[in-house]
Structures are given as C-alpha cells and as structure tokens.
Amino acid sequence: MTMDDFIMRYNSLGTALGSPLVELKMPLKWTVFNDYRVAWFYPSSDNPIILFLMTKEKDSGNTTASGLDRIQIEMDDAKDFIAFLTVSDRCASIFSEQFFGMTMSEYCIYDMINYYYENNAEKKGTSSYRQLDSEAQHFLNFFKDRDSYCIEIYGSK
C-alpha cells in the first residue's frame, strides 16, 4: 500500500458534520527518523494528535506516492486521549478484518492498552502489542516514548 492509498482510504471513512477530524491532504512537513522518511499530518482541527506515515523508500523523495511501511499516532497530553483513540481506530480499521460488517480494530486497541496498564508496562519501560488480523499481516504496538504516548501500526513483511 502506498501513502496515497492509505490517505484515500482514511479520507473515505465517514465523519459526522462538525467533527474535529479533518481530511488528510499534503503532509505539513517531512523528516527522517532512523531508516524512515516521515510525512507529518495533523488529523484533527485542534492539532492534539500527530499522525506519522513512514516509508523506507530512500530514493522516492518527499512524495506520498511512496510505499507505506509504518504508521505512528502520537499524543502528548492525556486530555487528548479520546482524539488519540479515535484517530488510532480510524487508521487501524483500514487494515483490520471485518466481522459482520464491523472491524475488530476497536477491540484490539482496547485490549492492547488494557494489557499495557494492567501489566505496568510503562514502569517496566516496555510496550504492549496486538495482532490486528488473524492472518498476522498487521500489528499494533502501544508505548510511551519520552512524554508522548504512541500507537504504531506495521505489517509483518
């Protein structure tokens, strides 16, 4: 999947009128992190959440036509937790299996965060992860990085 494919699918998910969620358009900026070229988006109108789309394609330049290798959703302030969960679920639902017309992404996110807190992962400096689909194609990872909480979505390949 390319970043453009992801953006198109993300934007095709319906939202209520007056929702703080905004359509993803062009990245606000590009950076390099480890081996990834990273496109930055703010998926809500009040900008509490940052959405990073990451590619390992080095020669592609700063273009959303690049392949999508990893997604990271980041929240700095706990007061933005609902927006964080909403954006994370929207992103994960694109990759999640459907059962009776509903995705399992909400359950996977809840289960992963619940495990993180019940097992005191923050104090241990670890994360929690969850398989997003039964074919083990995509995974979720929840962790605290410095002062931010993050959910990552990545594939097994």
Convert the pLDDT of each residue in 1-24 to its tens digit.
999 999 999 999 988 888 899 999
- 8: CB partners within 8 A, 6+ apart: none
* β-sheet bridge partners, residue 144: 149
Where exactly are the structural domains of the chain?
3-155
pLDDT in tens, 73-126: 999 888 899 999 999 999 999 998 777 777 888 889 999 999 999 999 989 989
- The secondary structure of residue 68, as a DSSP letter, is P
Task: Report the distance separating Cα 10 and Cα 90, nearest Å.
Answer: 7
Q: Are 155 and 55 in contact (CB under 8 A)?
A: no
Task: Report the distance separating Cα 126 and Cα 65, nearest Å.
Answer: 33
pTM: 0.91
